[in-house]
Chains A and B, each alone.
Chain A
Amino acid sequence: MTAPATNSPSGTLVFEDFAPGHYGTFGPRHVSREEIVAFAAEFDPQPMHLDEEAAKHSMLGGLSGSGWHLGSLTMRMMFDAFLHRAASLGSPGVETLRWMAPLRPGDDITLDLDVLDCRASRSRPEMGFVKLKARVSNAAGTTLLELVSPLMIKRRSAAAAEG
């Protein structure tokens, strides 16, 4: 686990604190069977996410977490990694997301973040886009998910103006 540095006096991460390259490795986060079933019951009630017996006969060959659960957990791990202390303005979307292997009950998942590029916004001078690649893997090192998403982060001048 690494702790990204900030040069801001306030300790808040701003656009200028990010640079292309490996950003850090975070976790592990344990994922229980109960969580998997609870998420699936609310948002993705397919048999392969709810019931071991039905899941055995699915393409994934056993109970697995919803891809949206894994995506949402990735979001939470990004929050815990750095977003909780960043001057975040949200995100316009996700360019690509690949579900590469199933999330299993009891998995301990790790998040790897790379900054792909940093670009000041032309239309909104108070912010810039930090494009991240997130890779989530299990304890065996198998990649479960990969996504690329730009985040909108305040520039130092805008963050400072607000105190």
Chain B
Amino acid sequence: MRFFEDLQVGTRSDLGSFTFTADNIKVFARQFDPQAFHLDEEAGRASPFGGLAASGWHVGSVCMRMLVDQARREAEEARRRGEEIAAWGPSPGFRDLKWLKPVLAGDTIHFASEVVSLRESASRPEWGILEARNTGTNQRGELVYSMVASAFVPRRKRA
């Protein structure tokens, strides 16, 4: 992962793709969001979604996983180059999360993340605060998911 000083507004990362299946949609929904249109094909078809639809919290959680995997890849590359690895801190939250279109069984969603703002933390001088727009796009090129997340990013120690 990168340090605060290495990031720029506009930097975009492609995080990879994930296919939502009837199985993984129902497993998540049974635990966290057992509304009929997330559990049953027939109920999904009868709903405005027009098919078995993933819970929005499932889509967000999968995006989180893609972000963590990307961070691991970046840490591995830094390790190979013999560079110091930046350990990111927790997220204070997000805003403007939009479930723009249903994610239906069989859809493959490509996730991406783009830095939208960077500022120094007033209370924690060793940290910066990043905002990134995380998005999901389906196999037809339609934006289905968008949100702006914040995270604490470590600053390089001054020599």
Once A43-B65, A68-B61, A75-B33 are accepted as A-B contacts, the answer to whether A92 and B98 lie under 8 Å apart by CB is yes
Question: A50 vs B147: C-alpha distance in the bound complex, in angstroms?
Answer: 25
B62 close to A (CB within 8 Å): yes
A94: which of B28, B37, B61, B97 is its contact (CB, 8 Å)? B97
B7 close to A (CB within 8 Å): no
Contact B97 A97 (CB under 8 A): yes
Size bracket, chain B contacts: 20 to 34
B16 close to A (CB within 8 Å): no
Contact A99 B92 (CB under 8 A): yes
Once A44-B61, A76-B31 are accepted as A-B contacts, the answer to whether A91 and B56 lie under 8 Å apart by CB is yes
Contact A90 B91 (CB under 8 A): no
Residues of B within 8 A of A97 (CB): 93-95, 97
CB proximity to B under 8 Å, residues A21-75 = 39, 42-46, 48, 58-60, 66-69, 71-73, 75
B64: which of A44, A48, A88, A96 is its contact (CB, 8 Å)? A44
Question: A79 vs B32: C-alpha distance in the bound complex, in angstroms?
Answer: 8
Complex: chain A residue closest to B154, CB-CB: A59
**Residue of A59, A91, A94, A102 with highest tally of chain B CB at under 10 A:** A94
Distance in Å from the Cβ of B4 to the closest Cβ of chain A? 15
A83 close to B (CB within 8 Å): yes
Residues of B within 8 A of A69 (CB): 61
B61: which of A72, A90, A93, A102 is its contact (CB, 8 Å)? A72
Contact B152 A68 (CB under 8 A): no
CB proximity to A under 8 Å, residues B23-41 = 28, 31-35, 37
Question: A79 vs B39: C-alpha distance in the bound complex, in angstroms?
Answer: 13
Complex: chain A residue closest to B47, CB-CB: A89
Complex: chain A residue closest to B56, CB-CB: A91
Contact B68 A44 (CB under 8 A): yes
Residues of B within 8 A of A45 (CB): 65, 68
Q: What are 23 A-B residue pairs whose CB atoms fall within 8 Å in the complex? A: A43-B61, A43-B64, A60-B90, A66-B61, A66-B64, A67-B93, A71-B57, A71-B60, A72-B32, A72-B33, A72-B57, A72-B58, A76-B32, A84-B34, A90-B35, A90-B99, A93-B97, A93-B99, A94-B94, A96-B95, A97-B95, A99-B90, A99-B91
| Residues in chain B within 8 A of chain A (CB atoms) | 28, 31-35, 37, 47-49, 53, 55-58, 60-62, 64-65, 68, 89-99, 147, 152
| Residues in chain A within 8 A of chain B (CB atoms) | 39, 42-46, 48, 58-60, 66-69, 71-73, 75-76, 79, 83-84, 88-99, 102
The 8 A-B residue pairs whose C-beta atoms are closest, nearest first, are: A98-B93, A72-B32, A94-B97, A43-B61, A93-B98, A68-B61, A72-B57, A59-B89
